[in-house]
Structure 1
Amino acid sequence: MRPSRSLRRSLLAAATVALALSASLAAATAQPADSADQRPNIVMILTDDLDATATPVWEAMPQTAQLIRDRGMDFTEGFAPMPICCAARSSILTGKYGHNTGVLTNAGEVGGLDAFRENGNEQHTIATYLHDAGYRTGMAGKYLNGLEEDPTHIPPGWDDWNAGVDRFLYAGYNYTLNENGTMVHYGVAPEDYQTDVIRHKTTKFITESSDSGKPFFWYAVPTAPHFPIPPAPRHLAQTQPTAAPQSPNYQEADVSDKPTWLIDTAEERRAFIDATNNLDYTARIGSLLALDEMVADIVDTLARTGELDNTYLIFTSDNGYNLGAHRLTQKMSPYEESMRVPLTIAGPGIGKGSTDAMALSIDLAPTILSWAGVPVPDTMDGRPLTGPLSGDRSGWRTDFTAEYGGAGYTGENGVWQEQVPGRTPYFYAVDMPSWSAVRNERYLYVRWYERERPLEHREYELYDLHNDPYQLTNLIKTPEGRAEHADTIATLDARLAELHTCAGLSCR
């Protein structure tokens, strides 16, 4: 076994001194060229549906709080502008908004793996850029919705590929991984629990990469706490039925100011939340226990191999989760519960603290490339977080656009793509229509039915987040409200038009 890179750094320094004394000694102690590659490693841990509003993330995951958040920078204003699994993950991998990846939902014309590939995204991901730059790359867990339709597919750029190829991945058991071209089925034994399998693959990759002498990028992608994954067997006894938190917009009493689709389904949604929300929340909290242990094991392995001080760690989620806010389950909405995500980063040169700089999921790819010394392509919409990570917010964004492509006319393009086969649906069947939005430091402005209706028949919302943080009062539902806020509407509508068509540098 070759020494870790930390040890090789010391050996390299000794060899340099020897070179000055004796050319022959230097030749005798010379090491392979890759031992001089001291570029940092990157490990990104992407959770599934972990919100930053109702779920007490750091209380539920104390080891993650201690080992990543408290060692680095916590982004209190972290957002997922494409708040559904496939769209969010497409943006994370590419550094682009959904209107530029062409992926706005989980399936259909503007969703899923097919849309991702058809728009040329797979040739321009974090993995391809880093692999081409000499990094060893790997992943385990959930890739993109639609991979189950092409399970043998392995995208370019990945040296170690361990992706779930069926929807049983959401159940935590009885799933299949494509492990570098070999289909491996995991059953229902305790050791098959998905988070633990990803944990073991992660530590194995880190150990092997440290021995290789190459810098590495690892993408740990468990489905926890996405319902219906249960707690790990060892945590079942300590997972007690727990009532979900109820914020002021929980089961919102008056939704008459909301868009038509929500008004028309409000009573059915209320009943569904009453029946399922606490069960959902209990499973979520229980599944975070194994996730927390996974993070601790990753950090321990990095320390043991001598790589921790030269590794950036990112902990975040693909999107948020509603948990009954506005009578909604799941995600997809433009409201705070769907879009706010935990985001914390630790690593070389990052001080301890927190920042309220608006950080978006599209910023992760350019940030990772900047750490690796890879030029950030002008086609990426996001910006490296290097400024906010050093405490510098000067010139940073004060707004962003957000988008969702809807469930399609059949209703099957949204969260139906996340349904475990043979299971009773765990979400209310009527998905929400498409929308686009602009959010700045004070307002959220939403345009509904973006793909379903012509512009003159769309519906709108405006919320003053300073005075109405729970988005209870749509200021422009009535003609009087629209007249009163005409100037604000004009400004935000113009900004939405700019951002909804921006690309690359113009998005920054």
Structure 2
Amino acid sequence: MKHVLSLMAASLVSMQAAEKPNILFIFADDLAYDCVGAYGNKEVKTPNLDKLSASGTQFTYAYNSGAWHGAVCVASRTMLMTGKQIWNAKTTKLGDHAGAGKFWPQRMNKAGYTTYFAGKWHVGSASLPKQVFNHVRNVRGGMPNQTKERYNRNFTPGQDDWSPFDKSKQGFWKGGKHWSEVLADDATSFFKQVQSDEKPFFMALCFNAPHDPRQAPESYQKMYPYKNITVPSSYMDLYPHEIGSNRIRDEKLGPFPRTKYSVQVNRSEYFALISHMDTQIGRILDELEKSGKADKTIIIFSADHGLACGHHGLLGKQNMYDHSVRVPWIISGPGIPKGKSVDAPIYLQDAMATSLALAGAESDGVEFKSVIPVIKGDGAREQIYSCYTNHQRMIRVGEYKLISYPRIEVEKLFNIKADPFEEKDLAKDPEQAPRIKQLRTQLLDEMKRMNDPMAVTDATGRKGSLSRKK
């Protein structure tokens, strides 16, 4: 009798596992929302991501809620893996969190999933992936190794001796094979494993691309001749305000003041690496099909943050403009509407909460939300918050976005729908004064809710206040 009951219990567990969708999470690094074809960019070629978007639902306004230092990816990925919002993520003791089984893959594993990881990590110790995932291959650091040649580059036409496809410079070529291709190889290995596993899988495949040094094979670089690249309409020679990130590492990838040619070069190599990554994503999706698991798999694609790459006189991601805090966010698979676009704002880290909901996994302490109700028209957020160190704060409510620089007492106001590239600052318009006052109040309230340290005392020493100057 005990044997029969055991068989029945095992059968029930197997049935329950079979009803859970597989979750394939694909993550890029430094990918701005407006640098994917499906998001309206007609210059960059991303046929596989475009196809993925058409097969599912894309979120137009997916945001990262900030960073506590210049490596924005650390905060973004820590939030993603712990489920904690920005300032709570900063104070989370990662070892204890893993010990309690609260990391994203651990929650999925408890829900009956076999978990897999390969690619960029950058959340605490490099040994953590092997503690929290069942299967791990090729864990990469924060970024490919840098070279003096890339930083000392001559951005004069005809005098530039840097080659993004020169393998001797290492970077993405370190080890002999491009890291994006290695990640696709790792995915192939994983999909061979899942074929013989009756459990559903949770797989996180995290690219270092299109982070600098932006290196792609020659055939991809030739797709984007420097002189043909469009310079953003928001181009400036220099950003006019000191915002705590004007001279950080990312910004040194071009000359000061900027030149339009240097922006064309940076964007050309950015697009080439994006297109090369897109090809590897196509390989990954092909391997998913070959595994026989595609019709039971939810795919989520996003990135840890965006990148200025020539907008507003900036090159990096340490700012509050949409090109840097906003990312592509696509979900596709069984039960997901096809060809749908959702304008309701989300946090990119909602990917974690979404997968937990789909898996029936426990979500106690998770501070993000599933997007499934939002797709159906319910549960949209009223506001979005973001931050950068103690230099910048941002809130978006409806169509309007307020950027605050507390240390220099400057504010900027944009209508995101009417002015998507944030070129028309409305902060000096007297008619906007009541709106700015209201947004400032909402920002302060959100800062307090987020346990933002600046909600206690700002840079001027005033408790619970932000800048008044324009």
1:290 matched to 2:241:
no
CA distance in 2, matches of 1:137, 1:42: 10
2:140 to 134, 142, 164: 164
Deviations 1:101-134, CA, capped at 9 Å, x for gaps? 117xxxxxxxxxxx76378478522112112222
What is the letter of the counterpart of residue 380 of structure 1? V
CA distance in 2, matches of 1:246, 1:186: 28
Counterpart in the other structure of 2:121: 143
Q: After alignment, is 283-292 or 71-80 more displaced?
A: 283-292
1:332 matched to 2:310:
no
Contact 1:61 1:292 in 2 (8 A): yes
Deviations 1:422-450, CA, capped at 9 Å, x for gaps? xxxxxxxxxxxx2121112222112224x
CA distance in 1, matches of 2:295, 2:311: 41
Per the alignment, do residues 119 and 403 of structure 1 end up closer, same or farther by CA in structure 2, a change over 3 Å counting? farther
1:75 matched to 2:59:
yes
Deviations 1:337-394, CA, capped at 9 Å, x for gaps? 11221111101101112111212113111101001011332x32221111233xx223
What is the TM-score when the length of structure 1 is the normalising length?
A: 0.71
CA distance in 2, matches of 1:262, 1:291: 28
SS of residue in 2 equivalent to 1:92: helix
Per the alignment, do residues 152 and 88 of structure 1 end up closer, same or farther by CA in structure 2, a change over 3 Å counting? closer
1:249 matched to 2:230:
no
Contact 1:78 1:343 in 2 (8 A): yes
2:309 to 323, 326, 332: 323
What is the letter of the counterpart of residue 442 of structure 2? R
Per the alignment, do residues 205 and 283 of structure 1 end up closer, same or farther by CA in structure 2, a change over 3 Å counting? same
1:133 matched to 2:111:
yes
CA distance in 2, matches of 1:402, 1:119: 26
Contact 1:169 1:223 in 2 (8 A): no
CA distance in 2, matches of 1:164, 1:448: 34
SS of residue in 2 equivalent to 1:496: helix
Counterpart in the other structure of 1:62: 47
Per the alignment, do residues 303 and 472 of structure 1 end up closer, same or farther by CA in structure 2, a change over 3 Å counting? closer
2:201 to 197, 216, 237: 216
Contact 1:164 1:175 in 2 (8 A): no
1:470 to 392, 398, 421: 421
What is the letter of the counterpart of residue 366 of structure 2? M
1:398 to 371, 376, 382: 382
1:442 matched to 2:389:
no
CA distance in 2, matches of 1:118, 1:284: 35
Contact 1:243 1:281 in 2 (8 A): no
Displacement of 1:41? 0.7
CA distance in 2, matches of 1:169, 1:260: 27
CA distance in 2, matches of 1:137, 1:486: 51
- Output the aligned Cα RMSD: 3.6
1:49 to 10, 30, 46: 30
SS of residue in 2 equivalent to 1:396: coil
CA distance in 1, matches of 2:12, 2:369: 35
Contact 2:37 2:50 in 1 (8 A): no
1:373 to 360, 363, 377: 360
SS of residue in 1 equivalent to 2:27: strand
CA distance in 1, matches of 2:173, 2:226: 28
What is the letter of the counterpart of residue 327 of structure 1? G
Counterpart in the other structure of 2:17: 37
What is the letter of the counterpart of residue 142 of structure 1? K
2:437 to 480, 490, 494: 490
SS of residue in 1 equivalent to 2:131: coil
Structure 1 segment 73-472 matched on structure 2, within 5 A: 73-82=57-66, 84-102=72-90, 117=94, 120=97, 123-144=101-122, 150-154=125-129, 156-162=131-137, 163-165=139-141, 167-168=143-144, 187-189=174-176, 192-232=177-217, 235=220, 238=223, 240-241=225-226, 243-251=228-236, 258=241, 271-274=257-260, 276-352=262-338, 353-377=340-364, 379-389=365-375, 392-405=376-389, 434-449=391-406, 453=407, 458-472=409-423
CA distance in 2, matches of 1:404, 1:213: 44
What is the letter of the counterpart of residue 446 of structure 1? I
Displacement of 1:32? 10
SS of residue in 2 equivalent to 1:203: helix
What is the letter of the counterpart of residue 140 of structure 1? A
Displacement of 1:79? 2.0
CA distance in 2, matches of 1:442, 1:212: 47
Per the alignment, do residues 152 and 306 of structure 1 end up closer, same or farther by CA in structure 2, a change over 3 Å counting? closer
CA distance in 1, matches of 2:198, 2:227: 47
Counterpart in the other structure of 1:19: none
Contact 1:78 1:342 in 2 (8 A): yes
Deviations 1:461-487, CA, capped at 9 Å, x for gaps? 22233554433343346xxx5x65442
Counterpart in the other structure of 2:152: none
Displacement of 1:260? 6.7
CA distance in 2, matches of 1:263, 1:293: 33
Contact 2:227 2:261 in 1 (8 A): no
Counting matched residue pairs gives 410
Contact 1:51 1:337 in 2 (8 A): yes
Displacement of 1:187? 4.4
Percent identity, aligned pairs only, is 22
SS of residue in 1 equivalent to 2:302: strand
Deviations 1:4-36, CA, capped at 9 Å, x for gaps? xxxxxxxxxxxxxxxxxxxx9xx9xx9796476
What is the TM-score when the length of structure 2 is the normalising length?
A: 0.76
Contact 1:399 1:438 in 2 (8 A): yes
CA distance in 2, matches of 1:215, 1:79: 29
What is the letter of the counterpart of residue 158 of structure 1? F
CA distance in 2, matches of 1:485, 1:221: 42
CA distance in 2, matches of 1:372, 1:501: 32
Q: Which runs of 5+ in 1 are unaligned?
A: 1-23, 104-114, 177-184, 407-433
Deviations 1:142-197, CA, capped at 9 Å, x for gaps? 1116x6xx544546321122311474367997999xxxxxxxx98453xx210111
What is the letter of the counterpart of residue 61 of structure 1? T
